[in-house]
Amino acid sequence: MNRLLLQSREHLALLPSAPLAPREGELVLTVLCCAICRSDAKMWRHGHRDLLLPRVLGHEIVGLDQESGRLYAVWPGEGCGRCRHCLAGREHRCPAMRIIGFHRDGGLAGELLVPRRALTPLPAGLDPQLATFAEPVACVANAFSRLGPVAGQQALVVGGGVMGMLAALILVERGCQVSVLELQAAKVTRLQPLAEQAGFTLCQESTAADFDLAINCSANPAALAGAIGRLERGGRLAFFSGLEKNQQIDSNILNLVHYYELAVTGSYGPRREDMAEALAFCHRQQGLLPALVEEVVTLAEVADRLPRVLSGENLKYIVDFRPARGDVPLPAAKPEPASMPRKQAPGEVAPGEEAPGEEAPGEQAAALGLSPFLASLVAGIRRPDAEMRGRAQAKVDNKTKPLGALGRLEKLAVRLAVVTGSLEPRVDCRRLFVFAGDHGVVEEGVSAFPARVTVQMVENFLAGGAAINLFCRHYGIELAVVDIGVNGDFADHPLLRRLKVARGTANFALEAAMSRAQALTAMENGARAFLDAQAGGRCQLVGMGEMGIGNTTSATAIIAAVSGRPVAELVGRGTGVDDAGLRRKVAVIERALSLHRPPADDPLALLCSLGGYELAGICGATLAAAASGCPVVLDGIISTAAGLLAFLFAPALVDSLIAGHRSVERGQEAALQILGLEPVVDLDLRLGEGTGAAITMNLADLACRMLAEMASFDQAGVDDGGRSH
């Protein structure tokens, strides 16, 4: 027996099946046929929020129970059996649902384990190939169980793919007058004979309206809007197909739901009881269903067909295991894809090489995959004079005060002296960067605010109305706003730097957030933002702020990967998500870590798989500042995570870092422990933008003045309490 294993995104391997050991209530089903649907193709190309790797795809399954000799179709789910949804016969809504092909291995295998209660026997005489239509037919049946089509009603189907055709055939059986709209002319031409034989209308365009009911089988938001606009007052709509992500629907169209008193019902997946009805339908329609079969293929041909399935231009592909069972050729083993060059583990010696000495900074940067520009910055970062710390501490201790009486201000003064190499540091010029970028992971529901708020807040920064504008004006801090990855455009403005890499990252719950080239470009852009500003006027202290809806999720994921601590211990509420949102955020990060498995000591891999463009920009700017001898004030969890990445690239820069404030986000503390930093202030801040950094930058000016201007015991003629003895 063989199986087609999805080992990582886009990596399929045809491997021998390991022996299966059923648990109580399960059996080993010998797969006869398994259809390939767009969900399988999407998981192969883009991943899926519920996909746990490695995994065998495929959930439109027909198999044989060798013990009884019976043929079954598989309801591809397993609920808890205890929640109110399971008890009401709506197991497909169960929060603990485990889906074949997502959470359990699916049907692209010679054998698989299935719960016995998920099996529905095939009617006698039904071709197993055509029985693979049972699961999608059951999905339509579930939608119609709430839509309630009856004979004589005018029904509209939007989308003439396989699901649209199945919906049309079912509606015709129920006596409805059916019209199907399909934009692809080739598909209309190909399926016109089926439409004529079944008795429904299939066309690209139509002026018909006032339908009693509609079912949307298209992922295009415009198609859904069109379905709403064609309904009669009091009409019914089945929101059957998920839409393309991150699209908008005209509110005027949605208002029709209100004005026309439309009934809209969502539908996702089939009920278990729908499978019997679906198989009976397949048996009745054996003469028409072959028209929906694109090709019957072997397991070894699946990888080649998946792009075609994903395009939506073809009809149903079916894998039939019977003709060549046991004879499916195994291809040569494929290496795991690697987006990053492999880095040698500490102490590892390549074959034929001698053990090297300690790497120079430039060599270390090259090993981490940095560009020559970034590598040159890393090479310029050195640990400060070891004696300066003692001299600065002695000077602070000799001020006219009890030892340690000025608390963290004293520690801040010592750090500034160490970084600048001066016992009288000055931070007269202070500059703060707000790096802004959008995050694809927002579509997982990890934020209380929609992604468009990133654009709106950047516009607020440029208008001078945000908290960071007020803080910088009050403290005399120069402010710069860097668009490094916002999904929007802005008019020219004196505060704005345009260094956009892309219009937001990809959803790292499904795929890598960015490519290696994008990550390096973002880091370089961040470094140049700092260096270009320095060329226009040198500042002695820089702060790092950020703006990006969803970026606490990215930052927390990076910190979890580096620290190895449980995600649940690190995740905070970010923009203020509720309890359900918090649990969702934990689950999203855990799945992402399971999907990418980024090495804890490879900052570039961490950025690519889990990062954001603003984190990469802050990381690059921090490297540039440290190479220039400029202290860096980090803000909350996001800039702290970026500082942690910079530290992994160049450990020597840790002395240049100042933790501005203690964030209420729990993950920050884990990162600060790795960096060995203590926040200067703790004001229960959770805004971001650089507000905590701005407060600390003002305190840094005070700390420098204390070190330079406050009198010593000798200068003031005050008894030092015996300290000099």
Q: What is the pLDDT of residue 220?
A: 86
Catalytic-labelled residue, pool 511, 590, 689, 709: 689
* Mean pLDDT, residues 487-493: 96
Eight-class DSSP state of 307: H
Q: For the chain, give the mean pLDDT.
A: 89
Tell me the torsion sign for CA atoms 716, 718, 723, 725: positive
Q: Is residue 160 situated within a structural domain?
A: yes
Q: Of 550-554, 556-560, 639-643, 717-721, give the lowest mean pLDDT range.
A: 717-721
Q: Say if residue 361's pLDDT is above 80.
A: no
In a domain, 648, yes or no: yes
Is 522 within 8 Å of 514 (Cβ atoms)? yes
Shared domain check, 117 and 167: no
In a domain, 65, yes or no: yes
| Residue 397 half-sphere exposure toward CB, CA atoms < 13 A | 10
* pLDDT for position 331: 33
Domain termination residue (choose one: 204, 237, 266): 266
- H or E stretch including 587? helix 579-596
Q: Which residue has the higher pLDDT, 471 or 685?
A: 471
List the structure tokens of 288.
Answer: 């028409």
Are 406 and 706 spatial neighbours (Cβ–Cβ below 8 Å)? yes
Beta bridge partners of 437: 485
In a domain, 397, yes or no: no
Q: Are residue 21 and residue 41 in the same domain, yes or no?
A: yes
The reply to whether 632 falls in a domain is yes
CA atoms within 13 A on the CB side of 312: 14
| Residue 244 β-bridge partners | none
Whether the CB-CB separation of 275 and 134 falls below 8 Å is answered with yes
Are 429 and 421 contacting, i.e. CB atoms less than 8 angstroms apart? no
* Three-class SS state of 217: coil
**What is the CATH classification number for the domain harbouring 121?**
3.90.180.10
Q: Are residues 526 and 666 in the same domain?
A: yes
Pair 174, 204 in one domain: yes
Q: Is residue 493 predicted with pLDDT exceeding 80?
A: yes
Evaluate if residue 451 carries a pLDDT over 70: yes
**Mean pLDDT, range 455-474, rounded to an integer:** 97
Selected residue with higher pLDDT from 557 and 345? 557
Same domain, 121 and 252: no
- Give the C-alpha separation, 571 to 566, whole Å: 9
Pick from 149-153, 352-356, 610-614: least confident: 352-356
CB atoms closer than 10 angstroms to residue 595 = 22
Region of residue 441 (phi > 0: left; psi between -120 and 50: alpha; otherwise: beta) = alpha
What value does the mean pLDDT take over residues 389-409?
91
Do 88 and 9 sit in the same domain of this protein?
Answer: yes
DSSP per residue over 250-277, as a string?
A: -HHHHHHHHHTT-EEEE--S--TTHHHH
- Average pLDDT for residues 593-603, to the nearest whole number? 92
Residue 408 in tokens: 């963290």
Are residue 239 and residue 298 in the same domain, yes or no? no
What pLDDT, on a 0 to 100 scale, did the predictor assign at position 360?
A: 57
pLDDT of 414 over the 50 cut: yes
Task: Return d(Cα 104, Cα 106) in angstroms, integer.
Answer: 6
| Percent of the chain's residues with pLDDT above 90 | 68
Q: At residue 695, does pLDDT exceed 80? A: yes
Lowest-confidence pick of 76-90, 111-125, 498-512, 546-560: 76-90
- Burial string for 712-723 (b: 16+ CB within 10 Å, else e) reads ebeeeeeeeeee
Parallel, antiparallel or unpaired: strands 632-634 and 119-121: unpaired
Please, what sign has the CA dihedral across residues 43, 46, 47, 48? negative
- Listed in sequence order, the residues at least 6 apart from 481 whose beta carbon sits closer than 8 Å to its beta carbon are 433, 434, 436, 458, 461, 462, 493, 495, 496, 497
pLDDT of residue 18: 78
Coil, strand or helix: which one is 652?
helix
User: In the block, which residue shows the tokens 């808890």?
Assistant: 80
Query: pLDDT tens-digit profile of 302-315?
Result: 999 999 998 888 99
Residue-level pLDDT at 337: 32
User: By percentage, how much of the chain surpasses pLDDT 70?
Assistant: 93
Beta strands 70-74 and 430-437 are: unpaired
Per-residue pLDDT at 366: 58
Same-domain check for residues 156 and 23: no
Cα–Cα distances in angstroms (integers) from residue 254 to residues 222, 229, 333, 672, in the given order: 12, 9, 51, 47
Of 33-37, 48-52, 375-379, the one with minimum mean pLDDT is: 48-52
Question: Does the pLDDT of residue 657 top 70, yes or no?
Answer: yes
Say whether both 253 and 293 belong to one domain.
no
pLDDT at 336: 33
| Selection from 645, 468, 464 nearest residue 554 by Cα | 645
Phi, psi dihedrals of residue 702, rounded to the nearest 5° = -65, -40
Cα separation, 572 vs 585, whole angstroms? 9
Q: From CA 192, how far away is CA 188, in angstroms rounded?
A: 6
Residues 189 and 246 in one domain: yes
User: Domain check: are 114 and 145 in the same one?
Assistant: no
CA angle, 201 then 204 then 206, to 5°: 70
pLDDT of residue 358: 45
Give the domain extent around 457: 428-699
Q: How many structural domains comprise the chain?
A: 3
- Show the 3-state SS of 369-409: CCCHHHHHHHHCCCCCCHHHHHHHHHHHHCECCCCCCCCHH
Least trusted range by pLDDT, from 63-67, 177-181, 356-360, 364-368: 356-360
Using only C-alpha atoms, what is the Rg of the chain?
31
Q: Are 236 and 265 in contact (CB under 8 A)?
A: yes
Residue written as token pair 């291809």: 331
What is residue 279's three-state secondary structure?
helix
- Sequence-separated (6 or more) residues with CB below 8 Å from residue 432: 468, 472, 477, 478, 479, 480, 542, 543, 544, 545, 690, 693, 694, 697
Containing 673, the helix (H) or strand (E) segment is helix 667-675
Q: Distance from CA of residue 546 to its chain's centroid?
A: 19
Cβ proximity of 658 and 412 under 8 Å: yes
Residue 689 falls in the annotated catalytic set: yes
| 335 within a domain of the structure (yes/no) | no
pLDDT at position 125, please?
Answer: 93
**Rounded Cα–Cα distance for residues 641 and 552 (Å):** 9
CATH number (domain holding residue 659): 3.40.50.10210
Q: Is the peptide bond before 54 cis (omega within 30 degrees of 0)?
A: yes
Same domain assignment for residues 165 and 200: yes
With beta carbons less than 8 A apart as the criterion, state whether 418 and 392 touch.
yes
Kind of pairing between the strands at 2-8 and 11-16:
antiparallel
Parallel/antiparallel/unpaired status of strands 70-74 and 119-121: antiparallel
- CA 680-681-683 angle, 5° bins: 165
Query: Which CATH number fits the domain that encloses residue 153?
Result: 3.40.50.720
Residue 401 forms part of a structural domain: no
**3-class state of residue 454 by DSSP:** helix
Q: Are 99 and 53 in contact (CB under 8 A)?
A: no
Residue 89 inside a domain? The answer is yes
Kindly list the distances between the CA atom of residue 423 and the CA atoms of 380, 415, 709, 716, in Å, as whole numbers in the listed order. 22, 10, 11, 19
